[in-house]
Amino acid sequence: MKPFSIKETYETTPNKLISSMLSDNYYKYVVDERHELTKYKFNYIKQDLSNNKIWSEVEYHIILNLPKWVKNLTKITSYHIVETNEYDTKTNIVNVHTKFPNNPFRHFFEMKYDYLVNKINDSQCEKIYTFHIKCDIPALKRPIEKLTKKIILENINKKYLLTKEYLKK
């Protein structure tokens, strides 16, 4: 599938936005507000400030409202997701690799994304995501990639609204 992008605008600075993305409190807030997210765990944060890098890993389960044909194929109702993040503090680019350990088709499906945080002015920034989705099963490639994009669009909007609320605190 061709990569697609999403742009969000926040009433905060790039540093404050990225700091929240590295905060255990932020993820706890999101999980508390979204009942479909469960079993959240912030696994680690590692820093190499001499190279302007920060790595983190977040693990959670999400219950998705999927079509019956997907439920019949996967035989699971809750998706275990592990996101490994690499933050470049110099460029404000974050690369995220997503793994689905309990998905029986995980060897045939890949999703990764990155986002760039840009300063708009002294009190605003924008976050621009670029998503890459790839399914290696020819018969399911198009429907799985299309469904994944739909799920991302629905969920990223929920997270965006919660992030805006969190930043107001």
CATH of the domain at 48: 3.30.530.20
At 43, the amino acid letter reads N
- Could you report the per-residue pLDDT of 123-143, keeping only the tens digit for each? 999 999 999 999 999 999 999
Look at strands 4-10 and 37-48 and give their pairing.
unpaired
Residue 126 lies in domain: 4-168
pLDDT at 39: 81
pLDDT at 23: 87
pTM across the whole model? 0.88
H helix or E strand, kind and range, residue 95: strand 93-99
Task: Count up the domains in the chain and report the number.
Answer: 1
Alpha helices in the chain (DSSP H): 14-21, 24-33, 68-74, 141-168
| Alpha-carbon gap, residue 168 to 37, rounded angstroms | 22
- Could you report the per-residue pLDDT of 18-58, keeping only the tens digit for each? 888 888 898 889 888 988 888 888 887 899 989 999 999 99
What are residue 38's DSSP bridge partners?
61
| Alpha-carbon gap, residue 92 to 52, rounded angstroms | 10
Query: In angstroms, what is the C-alpha Rg of the chain?
Result: 16
